[in-house]
Amino acid sequence: MPSELIKYIGKTCNAWHTSIALLESHMLLMNEAKCSESLAELYRLLNEDDMRYGLWKKRSITAETRAGLSLVQHGYWQQAQTLFYQAMIKATQGTYNNTVPKAEMCLWEEQWLSCATQLGQWEVLADFGKGVENYEILLDCLWKAPDWTYMKEHVIPKAQVEETPKLRLIQAFFTLHDKGTNGVGEAENLISKGVELALEQWWQLPEMSVQSRMPLLQQFQQLVEVKESSKILLDIANGNKPASGNSGASSNHQNSFADLKDILETWRLRTPNDWDNTTIWYDLLQWRNEMYNSVIDAFKDFGQTNPQLHHLGYRDKAWNVNKLAHITRKHGLPDVCVTILDKMYGHATMEVQEAFVKICEQAKAYLDMKGELVSGLNLINNTNLEFFPVKNKAEIFRLKGDFMLKMNDCENANVAYSNAITLFKHLPKGWISWGNYCDMIFKETQEERNEAQHCKLVLLKIAQVYPQALYYWLRTYLMERRDVATKTEMGRNMLAQQRMQQAMLANNAANNSSAGGNLTSDNQVHQDAQSGSATGSHEGGNLQGQEVDRSTVEGGTSTSHDQGQQSSTGAEGSQNALRRNNGLGWVTSAASAFDAAKDIMEALRSKHTNLANELEEYKQDFERDLDPDSATTFPSILAEVTERLKHWKNILQSNFEDRFPAVLKLEEESKVLRDFHVVDVELPGQYFTDQEVALDHTVKLDRVGPDIPIVRRHGSSFRRLTLIGSDGSQRHFIVQTSLTPNARSDERMLQLFRVLNKMFDKHKESRRRHLAIHTPIIIPVWSQVRMVEDDLMYSTFLEVYEINCARHNREADSPITIFKEQLNQAISGKVSPEQVVELRLQAYNEITKSIVNDNIFSQYMHKILPTGNHLWTFKKQFAIQVALSCFMSYMLQIGGRAPNKILFAKNTGKIFQTDFHPAYDPNGLIEFNELVPFRMTRNMQAFFSNFGVEANPTHMASSGYVFPRRAVILVMEKAAWHSVCSSCRWNDQSIGFPAKGGEHNRTAPVCPKRRCRTGGIGAIFEEPVHDGSDVAPVVLRDANHIL
C-alpha cells in the first residue's frame, strides 16, 4: 500500500495511530523518502513535534539539521535560527555539493520562520513574506507588526489560502480594526464560521490525544476573545450615544461600561499557561493590545469628568505589556523582553505599580543579557524611589545587590541586601538572595558567619509549629537508633564470647584433630540456628501470622548459620580442616544444611502442625533426590543438582499457589482493623504539593477495604491494604516488613525526586511535556514496617519475560543454560582469549535470535492494550519515565537495575524502581559498575522505534541539564550527604544510642489527634491516640537532638 494512501486514510478515517504504526514499520524495512514525509506529516497534524524532530534527526544528512532541531526542542530559538540560517547560506554557496535533499532544505526554511515567530520578529517575517509573496505569512505577521494599511491594500484582496480557523480569526481582526459600518456583525459571522471549522477539525482527531487538541483549544480561546472584542466595541459605541433623558443616559453609561470592565478583568484572569510557547502569548496579547488602544481612544477625553474610565485603558495595556515581557524573559528571551518594554506600550503615563513591574522586568532582563550589567545598574540608580511603597523599594535594592554580586562587587552587594531586608523584613526574595550570597562567601572563604547559629532555631520553630510533619519520620529514626544501640551492645557481648572461644581453641589446637574442629563448628552452627533472629530484605515481608513465624525461623536459621560458619572459619584449626577437605566442601555444606533443616522441622512441628504435615508429604521424595547422605541417589555433578532444584522449585511453587488463597478477608485476619473506628484520620499524600489543602477539602479515611490481596513479586510476598476515603477514592498500600537499612535510602530518594519534580514544573520545556518522576507515597510506621503506595496495574519486566516463556513452553533461565553450554570448552583453559570472545558472541547471537527476541515487550503491550490510541498514550508516558530513570541513574551513579526491580503500570506507563539508590563502599565512595549510561534494552528500542528513541527518551533525559546549575548542585549535595550518612550510620555499629539510660533512651512520640499533614494512617496500627497536648515538646526535643 502506498504511503500517501496510508496517510490519507489515517487522517480522514480517524485511523491515525494505526496508520502511524504501519508507516513506522515501513520505515524500518524500506526507509523510503515518501514514507518518511507521510509519517512526518501525520506527526505534524497531531502536534507531535518531538516525534517529527526525531524522525528528521534519523534521516537528515547534515549535522546542522540535527543540532538545530535539538536547540529547537530545548527552546533555544536564537541559536537555532542562526544555525538554520548558516545552513541555508552554505547550501546557496554550494558547500554541500548538492548532496542535501530538497526536503531537508525546506525544513531549514520552515524552522527559520518558526524561530522568527517565537522571537517576535514581525518586521523580518513581513519582509520575507513580501519577497516570496507568501500571503499566509503576511496574514499572520502584518497585524502584529502592525501594518494594517499594507494588509488592507495588498494582502486581503489577493490572499488565496486554505480555509482554516486561523484565517477566519485574522479576517475578524481586520474587520474589527477597520471599524466599518457593519464591522461588528461581519466579525461575528466570521467567528461563527471559524468555530465550525475548529469543531470539524476537533472531531477528526483521535481519542485520548490531548496534545493534538492543544492548538485548537488555543484557537477557541482566541475566537471567544474576538467575540468579546466585538462586544466591547459595541458597548463603547452604545455608551457614547446621547440619550433622550439624563437619568436614562446615566443608567445606559453605567451598565455598558460595567460590562466593559468585566470583560477586561476577565482577560487578566484568562491567560495561557506560563509554559506555553510565546507564539500563543503573542496571538492573544497582541490583539488585546489593539483593543486597549481602542479603549484609550474612546475615553481619552474623560480625564476631568471620569478619571477612572480615562485610566482604564492605560492600566490594562501596561499590565498586558508587562505580562508579555515577563513571559518572554522567563522563556529565556531577555532581548525580546527589553524590546517589548521599549516599543509596545507607547504612552508616557503609567500607574505606579505597573511602572515598578516594568523596571523590575527590564532590570532582570539586563541581568540575563551579556554585556548589559552596566545598563541595568544605571536603570536602577536612575529610578526615583519616592513614588514607590517600602516593599517595592526593598525589591529594587535587592535587584541592585544582584547586579553588584554579578559584577563581583561583594561588599556593595552585601550592603544592598542589608538595605533591602532593613527596609522590609518580610521580603522572601531578599532573604533568599542574601542567603545565596552568604553561601557563596562561605564556599570561597570557608569562614562560618555569625548568622549560621540561627538556622537551628528556625528549624526548631518549624518543628514546633508543625509537629506532625515530622512525626513518622522522626519516630522511625529514633526507633532505628535505639535498635542500633541494642545491636551494638549485643555485638560487643558476642565479640567477647568469640574471643574467649578463640582462646580456648588456641589452647586445645595441638590436641584436637581436624574432625573434632569440624564437629565443634557444626555444633556451634546448630546452636546458633536454634537461637537466631530474623533478618531479610525489605522486599520479602510476610504478614500472615503463620508466615511471620515461618520467616522468623527460616531467616534466623540462615543468618545464624552464616554467623556460625564465620565463627568456625575464624578458628585456625577449622580453616586448616577446610583446606584439607576442599574437594568435599560443597558436600559438607549440603550436609550441614540438611542438619539445620531437621531443626527447622522440629520447630514447625511444635508451632505449626498443619504446615509441618504438608511438608512431610514431600519428605521421602525430597530426601531421595537431594539428601547428601544417600550416595546412590544424590547427584554427582552440579548440573544434576541444579536440575533437581528446578524440579522441586516448580512443584513447591505450584502447590503453594493452589493451596494458599490469593485474597484474604479483613474480618478474619485483623479484628483491630475490622473494629477500628476512624476519627479524623486523613488519607496520606495530600500535602506533597505546594498548595495548601483547605480544611473542607481534606479527604478523610472512611474505612479499610474488606479484601486483602496477597501480592507476590519475585519471591517476595506482601499484603495490600485498600484505604477508602470520604470522597469514595481508593488508595492501595502494600505493607513491607523485615526492612533493611537501605529502606531509608528509598524514602530519601523519593524526597529528592519530589524536589526535582518541582524544578521540572518551573522549566517551560519540561512542564510543557509533563515531565515528572513517579513518586509513590511511603509511610514509615515502625522501624521494621512501612506502607508503600501500590498500583493494581503494576507489572515487572521479569513478569513479561516469564509470560513469554510460559507461552512458548520454555524455561525462563534457558539463556543461562545455553550460554553455559556454549562456553563449557572455555573452562578447560585450552581456548585462547580471542576464541572465548568469539564463543561469547556466538552464544549471545543464538540467544537473541531464538529465545529472547526484541519484540517480547511490544507483543505484550499490543495484547493488553485495547486500541492503538491507548498504545500511543502509554508509549509516550512510558518513554518519559524511562528517560527520567536513565537520567537519574546516571546523575546519581545508580547501577544494578534488574528487570524484577522495575515496576511499570500497564495503564499509565508510570515506572517505580525498588532499591533505587546509590551503593557505597566502606570508604564512602559510590560503587557504580554501569559502563554505558542511558543504555536501553533491545526490547525497549524496538518498542519506541529508532526515531522514537531519538525523539522521546533522548530528549527527555537531556532536559535535566537545562536546570540552573546552582539549584541542581544544591539538591544533589543534600541528597548525597544524607545518603552517605545513612550508609555510614548503619555500617558502623559503634554509632548509636546508649543501651541503657541517657538522654537518647526514650520512647517515640505519640501520634497526636491534631490535623495531620502527613496523613495520619499510622494511627491504624497504634494504640488510642492522645489529645496532643504533649506532642509539640516531645517532637521539639527530638528535633533538637537530631539537629
991-1016 per-position pLDDT tens digit: 333 333 333 333 333 333 333 333 33
What's the mean pLDDT in 57-80? Answer: 92
pLDDT digits (tens, 9 = 90+) for 384-402: 998 899 999 999 999 999 9
pLDDT digits (tens, 9 = 90+) for 461-478: 877 776 666 777 778 888
868 CA to centre of own chain: 25
Phi, psi of 830 (to 5 degrees): -90, 0
If you ran DSSP here, which 8-state letter would residue 683 be given? Answer: P
Out of 237-241, 430-434, 504-508, pick the least confident. Answer: 237-241
Q: 146: cis peptide before it, omega within 30°?
A: yes
Mean pLDDT for the chain?
A: 79
Q: 307: cis peptide before it, omega within 30°?
A: no
Closest CA to 705 of 660, 674, 735, 671: 674
Instruction: Look up residue 651 and give its three cell numbers.
Output: 512443584
H helix count then E strand count, the chain? 45, 10
Residue, of 258 and 66, whose pLDDT is higher: 66
DSSP H helices, 452-584, are: 453-465, 471-508, 514-531, 545-570, 572-580
What's the mean pLDDT in 355-359? Answer: 95
pLDDT of res. 446? 75
Closest CA to 852 of 797, 914, 911: 797
pLDDT interval class at 525 (50, 70, 90): very low
Closest CA to 737 of 780, 787, 785: 785
d(CA 50, CA 111): 14
pLDDT digits (tens, 9 = 90+) for 741-786: 778 888 888 888 988 898 888 888 889 888 899 999 988 888 888 9
By DSSP bridging, strand 663-665 and strand 701-704 are: unpaired
1016 near 681, Cβ under 8 Å? yes
Share of the chain above pLDDT 90, in %: 38
pLDDT of res. 497? 85
Reduce the DSSP state of residue 709 to 3 states and report it.
strand
Element spanning 781, H or E:
strand 778-782
Rounded to the nearest 10°, the torsion over CA 163, 168, 174, 179 is: 130
What's the mean pLDDT in 593-621? Answer: 74
Among positive and negative, which fits the CA dihedral 416, 418, 421, 427? positive
pLDDT digits (tens, 9 = 90+) for 853-901: 999 999 999 999 999 899 999 999 999 998 888 888 888 888 878 888 8
Out of 406-420, 619-633, 803-817, pick the least confident. Answer: 619-633
Residue 65 has pLDDT above 60, yes or no: yes
pLDDT of res. 1023? 31
d(CA 730, CA 987): 39
pLDDT digits (tens, 9 = 90+) for 210-234: 899 999 999 999 999 999 999 998 8
Flag whether the pTM goes above 0.95: no
Instruction: Look up residue 886 and give its three cell numbers.
Output: 536513565
Distances (CA, A) of 551 to 548, 604, 653, 695, 908: 5, 11, 16, 43, 35
pLDDT digits (tens, 9 = 90+) for 798-851: 999 999 999 998 888 889 888 888 888 787 777 888 888 999 999 999 999 888
Residue 78 has pLDDT above 50, yes or no: yes
What's the mean pLDDT in 963-980? Answer: 58
Angle subtended by helix axes 428-445 and 410-423, to nearest 10? 150
Residue 552 has pLDDT above 70, yes or no: no
pLDDT interval class at 90 (50, 70, 90): very high
Q: Residue 797 class from Cβ within 10 Å (0-12 exposed, 13-18 middle, 19+ buried)? A: buried
pLDDT of res. 399? 96
Rounded to the nearest 10°, the torsion over CA 533, 536, 540, 542 is: 10
Instruction: Look up residue 937 and give its three cell numbers.
Output: 534494552
Among positive and negative, which fits the CA dihedral 782, 893, 874, 204? positive
pLDDT of res. 1014? 33
Out of 6-15, 123-132, 298-307, 946-955, pick the least confident. Answer: 946-955
Phi, psi of 756 (to 5 degrees): -65, -35
Question: In DSSP terms, which residues pair with 709 in a beta bridge?
Answer: 663
Question: In DSSP terms, which residues pair with 721 in a beta bridge?
Answer: 733
HSE (CB half, 13 Å, CA atoms) of 395?
16
Question: In DSSP terms, which residues pair with 912 in a beta bridge?
Answer: 903
Residue, of 446 and 717, whose pLDDT is higher: 717
Share of the chain above pLDDT 70, in %: 79
What's the mean pLDDT in 491-505? Answer: 83
HSE (CB half, 13 Å, CA atoms) of 903?
19
d(CA 362, CA 379): 9
pLDDT interval class at 300 (50, 70, 90): confident
For residue 834, the tally of other CB atoms under 10 A from its CB is 8
pLDDT digits (tens, 9 = 90+) for 172-211: 999 998 876 677 889 999 999 999 999 999 999 998 888 9
pLDDT of res. 241? 62
Q: Residue 390 class from Cβ within 10 Å (0-12 exposed, 13-18 middle, 19+ buried)? A: exposed
Q: 871-899 burial, b for 16+ CB within 10 Å, e for fewer?
A: bbbbbbbbbbbbbbbbbbbbbbbbeebee
d(CA 19, CA 40): 12
pLDDT of res. 970? 59
Closest CA to 738 of 716, 721, 709, 710: 716
359 near 382, Cβ under 8 Å? no
By DSSP bridging, strand 663-665 and strand 707-713 are: antiparallel
d(CA 953, CA 937): 13
pLDDT of res. 856? 93
Residue 575 has pLDDT above 70, yes or no: no
Among positive and negative, which fits the CA dihedral 946, 952, 954, 955? positive
Give residue 213's identity as a one-letter amino acid code. Answer: R
Out of 7-21, 567-581, 688-702, pick the least confident. Answer: 567-581
80 near 294, Cβ under 8 Å? no
Angle subtended by helix axes 856-864 and 868-892, to nearest 10? 130
DSSP H helices, 796-855, are: 797-807, 814-822, 824-827, 833-850
Out of 51-55, 332-336, 960-964, 986-990, pick the least confident. Answer: 986-990
pLDDT of res. 250? 47
Residue, of 102 and 161, whose pLDDT is higher: 102
If you ran DSSP here, which 8-state letter would residue 491 be given? Answer: H
Q: Residue 455 class from Cβ within 10 Å (0-12 exposed, 13-18 middle, 19+ buried)? A: exposed
Look at phi and psi of residue 404 and say left if phi exceeds 0, alpha if psi is from -120 to 50, else beta. Answer: alpha
Distances (CA, A) of 778 to 710, 721, 790, 900: 19, 14, 10, 20
Question: In DSSP terms, which residues pair with 712 in a beta bridge?
Answer: 717
d(CA 680, CA 698): 10
Residue 311 has pLDDT above 70, yes or no: yes
